Structures are given as structure tokens and as C-alpha cells.
Structure 1
Amino acid sequence: MWDDPRASNRARPSEEIDVPRLTTNPRPVAFADIDPRIVGLARDAARLHPRPGSPSVLESSVGGPMLWPADEPWPLCPGDHAFDQDGPDPLPLIAGVQVYLRDAPSLPHPPGVDLLQMMWCPTLGIEADDHTADGHLQVFWRASSDVKAVLADPPAPPPERVWTEIVPARCVVNPEQITEYPTTDWLPAELVEAVQRCEALGEDPAYTYNMLAVAQGIKVGGWAGSASFWGPAGPDYFRCECGAALDALIQLDDEWDGTETWRPIEDAGKTSYADRRLSQLAADLDIGRGYALQTYYCTADWTHPIARYMQ
């Protein structure tokens, strides 16, 4: 049984590592063999593969500095936090994920922009049961060429009001373009039956269709991961408050788990505690008590709030 490096030590890795190009293992099943119609539902996504580093504002990053205009106010959370100990006052949001479209061309985006910036509240308001992000998680789109002067010293929340588990370590990213397929939450009923027939064969009980269809880790675009504890899931469940369909935007998750099917090929020989911490848990995020946090955008209006679900 593998040990979770996070379980006994919350310290940040201080070492910066030289990361080679990271590549995902080929899937151990051919999705066309399950049902050729599944292949027609394939989507491109980008795994960001964060690793400890010192990104600049001109680079995609996790937990890194934002290309934020000096003349634009830094965003605040609304202050209605999930727990009384978090206090009632608004707090400056913390830097989460910055993605330039050149690194993730498959990322859904509004016209005229080339940069996505995602920030969130430093308290557990990000984990509230309400699926709307309601200001605790905010996404900003911009054309990077419009930023003439960068905010040099963004405001920070007081340390005593920060839940360190949801503050990402500063990481460079190593984007990899991959192909994903819808989980059974999103498949038509006849294709769900095809998946169930295939899995009933039990050729490799270590993996399920859903585990292989959607990547783990911090990724953008593609399909959403499988639902863990709600239902009925799927396109009829994931709706914006306006009634329009929601679709996957950014996923926050550990790079890979104990099954190792999503561990990059280049990390295969890294078995020590320190090596695993610098790859598997590089971003050092623990949002949702071990679940992944999936964020969604409204497919009808880019100005509508982002939605969030634990998966």
C-alpha cells in the first residue's frame, strides 16, 4: 500500500527541480474497442503538470504571480464564509491558476482573450455546499497585451485567517495536450450499457472506464471527472443559474493517486518520499478533503459566475 506524502507533513517543498517534458502513459484500453461511438465524443484537454519553481507573470503557473493590471483593484471574497472561525470580513483572494492559451489551446475561452486567471478565497468558503462559486472562487479573462503596468505588490490576507491546505505552492507548469472521453455520467444510456458490458469482462480489475477516461491532476478543458457523491449527474444536473448547460473548465486535483495510471512516464522511477512529493503533490493542495474540485463555466454567457463541484 502506498503512503500519501501529505498525510504526515504539510511542509512546502523548498527544492526547485529541473522538469523534463512530462508525458502521460498510454491508456491500457482502446476506447474504440468498447464502442466506436465513444471515440466521436473525445475532447482535447491539457494537463498542467505543476512542479516547484519560480514562474514569472508572463508564464502559466499554479500559485505563481498574476499578470494583474496595476490600475485594477485586486479581487476580494464576499466575506460570507462557511465557518464562523473564518470571520465575517471580505479577504483578498489568493492566486490559484494562471493559464496562457498558448499553453492550453484546447481551453474553452471567450473571444479576444489569451489569458485565464483563477483565484479563490483563502478560507474553506471554497468548499461550501452551495455549488455556485458565489465570489469565493473567481475567474478572470483578459488579453495579456492590454496589461501595460503590472501590480507589483498584491494584497494578501492575514496569515491567521488562511487555511494553508488550500494555498497552492508556487509551481511552474509543463503543459501536455491529451485526449479525454466522457465518464458514464455524461454518456448516453446505450453507451453506458456498452461500458458496463466491457467492464463485466474483468480483464483488468485495477482500472475502471471512468478512471481511464478523464485525467487526474490539475488540468484545463476536456471532460469533467466522474461524480462521487451526488446524482443524477450529467448534463441535466450541471446547470447554470440561468438554466444553460455548464461545462468543464479547470480541475484541481493531485497529479496521480495510488493506482498510478495517470503518473507521468518520466516519474515512474521516482519512488522515494521526497520524489513523490515533488511530483505527485507538487501543488500541495488539499481542497475538499481528498476529492478533486471541478470548476464549470456557463455555456451561454461567459460573464455568469463559475460553478464548482467536488468530485
Structure 2
Amino acid sequence: MSFVRTTPPRPVEVAAVFPELAPLARPAMRLHPRPGAPSVRDSSVGGPLLWPAGEPWPHCKDAHLHVDSGFRQSPTEVRLERLLQFRWRPDVQPTLTPEEEALKKRNAAWLAKRLEAGPPRPAECPVPMLPVAQLFLRDIPLLRPPGQADLLQILWCPYEHDPDYKPATAVFWRSAADVGDVLVAPPEAYEADYPGYVPEPCVLAPEVITEYPNSLDLSPELQEMLEDWNRWQEGGAGLASSYAAYPRDFYSIHLGNAPGWKVGGWPPWGRTDPILRYCAVCEAQMVPLLTIASWEWDGDEAWVPQEDQANAAGSHYAGQNPSQPTRVEVGSTDNMQIYVCPTSPDHPHTDLIQ
């Protein structure tokens, strides 16, 4: 890890104002992905994986009938178009590389022929999965890998799947020391269902923070406690009067669980009420492993790292928004949580869009 990101101190010490919440504190690691060029030996989002050359690459074997959304591009083409967006400036005519110029001409020709295109055809099956995250224990000590494993690798299919309209995911634990020859050129999907399912390669700056539950995860009694304006005042929180009618909103925005990509901690909610996940094998309550986020922060900037605040406050051209470095979008700019069974790594994981 070659750079640092620091979450600003919370404006209020939660446990000091509400000691009842102290037992609910959990450690989490914000990953703070930022565009870069990770190698197979780096923790990353969307970067290359330390994958053994002799081990089959994961493929999704489900049926993939492509819905004619007007989007038919390979992951490589998605990233090339993003590069063009990133380099575009209204006051500067960019100089394109031959590869970029060829892509621009190809896309123009494709758009001209789109109306003449025939019906959508099924994707080539099985579909090679895309790297989503690679996390080494040395960088993310909050991981609890099984046995001698020290490396977590997560991939997904670049197509939505019924009935929940989300990419199918795959989770692998392995020992980095056991990987000899590395797969140099993994197979790539013919196309992606949606550009938000193609992560942009990012390096990470992991940071340990303390999280408290989303207010929806609290009991009715604790939720009512957060609504008590007098309790906030008596605790010396010094909330602005604009929060007097809805002090619970202050907790939800500034004090509860952090946004963005993270390991552990508490899950974000809002799309639905909290949904407990249970292991399909042993029925144990599953625990959050990784949050895959569409945004590192959204709207309110209370969680913007100190090192990003000047950039976050500025204007951004296409492809340069620091709050969406991975370019991932799941659901309607929601989050996907990966859950695992706490009793056995061999039990299947599950995931949830929220």
C-alpha cells in the first residue's frame, strides 16, 4: 500500500453520548480504492488476480439471455471508453492513440448499425467471470481466512441473474505462497450486461475504523432513544437546531456505518429493512465479509477522507469523480454485501443488494 486515506473524526463520540450503543461497536476496514495499476501481488479492486496457471478460471454456467439494453461491449472496450471520457476536456482537443482512434471509429459504426441489428442472442456460455476484489491478509488483517489461507479473491459474472437482478458471485480463499506459475491471460467475457459490472483497476489504502449499526439494525427502544433531542443535548453533542426534529438522521448520516467498499463492520440498509442471512448448510447466522459499493460517499460528504476533501469539493469531468473510483454500480447505485458462514469456509457464501 503506497498511499494513505484517513476518515475524519466523527463529530460526536457515539459511546459517550449513548453508552447503550457501546457494546454494538464493530471494527471495519474501509478499503479506499483509487485508480491505479495493481499487480497480481497487490490487494486491489478490479485488478489482476494471483491465479494459479494450472487452475481453471471460474466461469458462470447459468443461462445468459442478453436483454437488448443497447449495451454490447467487452470489458476491454468498456475500459477504453472510460479512458476516452477521462481524457476529454471541453477546452482541449485530445490526441488519441491509434487504439483509441480505432475504438472511436468502431463505436461510431456500431451506433449507425444498431437500428439494423437483429434480435439479441444468448451470451457465449459458460461466461468467464470478472475479478472484483483481491485482498491479502497482510493488508487487511480484519480478514479471518480459513487454515493457512492469506488471500481472498472475489469474482462475479458480468450479467444480471434472475430473480434478484444481480451478478452471480464467486469467493475463493487461498495461500499466496502455494501459487507457483501465475495465469497471465485469463479468459474474458464476450460482453458485459452493463458497464457498472466492469470494475476499474484500483489500488487500496485500507484503514481501520469503528462502526456502529445502521439505525434500522437497532431495537425499537434504541431507535426511540436516538429520536430524543434532549438526550443529545444532555450528552453534549451540540447538534445544530436543523436536526432538532429528526436527530436520528444525524446519527444515520454522520455516526453509524461508513459508506464505500469495506471489510467487516455493519451492513448498510435502506433499500429494505434488515434481512438476516442464514447459512444454507448449518443455518448459522452469516456475517458480512465485504461491501461492494457504488459510491465511496454520496450527497453528504461527512465520510470523505481528509486527503480527498479538496478534490471532492471541486468540479469533475466525466470519469473523474473521486467518489466513484471503481466505476462499479450495483442495483440502483446500491451496495452488494458478501456474507459468509462463521462456522465453516466450505459452506456457500451468499450476497445481497442493498
Distance in 2, Cα, partners of 1:269 & 1:130: 36
Q: Would you say 1:230 and 2:279 are equivalent positions?
A: no
Cα–Cα, structure 1 residues 39 and 95, in superposed 2: closer, same or farther, change >3 Å? same
**Partner SS for 2:145:** coil
Cα–Cα, structure 1 residues 168 and 221, in superposed 2: closer, same or farther, change >3 Å? same
The residue identity in structure 2 corresponding to 1:265 is Q
Give, in angstroms, the shift of residue 195 of structure 1.
Answer: 2.4
Distance in 1, Cα, partners of 2:266 & 2:284: 17
Please identify, of 198-207 and 116-125, the stretch whose mean Cα deviation from structure 2 is larger: 198-207
1:177 aligns to what? 208
Listed as ranges, the matches of 1:217-296 within 5 Å are: 217-226=260-269, 228-231=270-273, 233=274, 237-242=276-281, 243-253=283-293, 254-270=295-311, 271-274=314-317, 277-296=320-339
The residue identity in structure 2 corresponding to 1:167 is V
Listed as ranges, the matches of 1:145-184 within 5 Å are: 145-159=177-191, 161-184=192-215
Listed as ranges, the matches of 1:83-98 within 5 Å are: 87=122, 89-98=125-134
Give, in angstroms, the shift of residue 208 of structure 1.
Answer: 3.3
1:55 aligns to what? 38
The CA deviation string for residues 150-179 of structure 1, in whole angstroms up to 9 with x for no partner, is: 1111010113x4422211001111111111
2:135 aligns to what? 99
Q: Would you say 1:214 and 2:253 are equivalent positions?
A: no
Distance in 2, Cα, partners of 1:196 & 1:109: 39
Cα–Cα, structure 1 residues 156 and 95, in superposed 2: closer, same or farther, change >3 Å? same
Preserved CA contact (<8 Å) 2:65 2:122:
no
Distance in 1, Cα, partners of 2:148 & 2:329: 34
Preserved CA contact (<8 Å) 2:66 2:193:
no
Distance in 1, Cα, partners of 2:202 & 2:230: 37
Q: Would you say 1:307 and 2:350 are equivalent positions?
A: yes
Structure 1 or 2: more helix by fraction: 2
Distance in 1, Cα, partners of 2:188 & 2:212: 39
The residue identity in structure 2 corresponding to 1:269 is A
Distance in 2, Cα, partners of 1:54 & 1:272: 24
Distance in 2, Cα, partners of 1:48 & 1:274: 24
Distance in 2, Cα, partners of 1:86 & 1:33: 59
- % of aligned pairs identical? 38
Distance in 2, Cα, partners of 1:151 & 1:199: 61
**Partner SS for 1:37:** helix
Distance in 2, Cα, partners of 1:86 & 1:59: 37
Give, in angstroms, the shift of residue 49 of structure 1.
Answer: 0.9
The CA deviation string for residues 77-98 of structure 1, in whole angstroms up to 9 with x for no partner, is: 1323486568363200001000
Cα–Cα, structure 1 residues 164 and 29, in superposed 2: closer, same or farther, change >3 Å? same
The residue identity in structure 2 corresponding to 1:163 is Y
Aligned residues: 285
Preserved CA contact (<8 Å) 1:47 1:175:
yes
**Partner SS for 1:124:** strand
Preserved CA contact (<8 Å) 2:43 2:203:
yes
**Stretches of structure 2 lacking an aligned partner (at least 5 in a row):** 68-119, 233-238
Distance in 1, Cα, partners of 2:142 & 2:18: 24
**Stretches of structure 1 lacking an aligned partner (at least 5 in a row):** 1-17
RMSD between aligned alpha carbons?
2.7
1:129 aligns to what? 164
**Partner SS for 1:208:** helix
Preserved CA contact (<8 Å) 1:48 1:219:
yes
The CA deviation string for residues 114-135 of structure 1, in whole angstroms up to 9 with x for no partner, is: 110010001122x84289x8xx
Cα–Cα, structure 1 residues 34 and 73, in superposed 2: closer, same or farther, change >3 Å? same
The residue identity in structure 1 corresponding to 2:10 is R
Q: TM-score, normalised by structure 1?
A: 0.82
Cα–Cα, structure 1 residues 276 and 65, in superposed 2: closer, same or farther, change >3 Å? closer
Distance in 2, Cα, partners of 1:292 & 1:199: 34
2:92 aligns to what? none
Alignment counterpart, residue 140 of structure 1, candidates 172, 197, 217: 172
The CA deviation string for residues 273-299 of structure 1, in whole angstroms up to 9 with x for no partner, is: 049935211100111121111111122
Higher-Rg structure is: 2
Distance in 1, Cα, partners of 2:218 & 2:152: 28
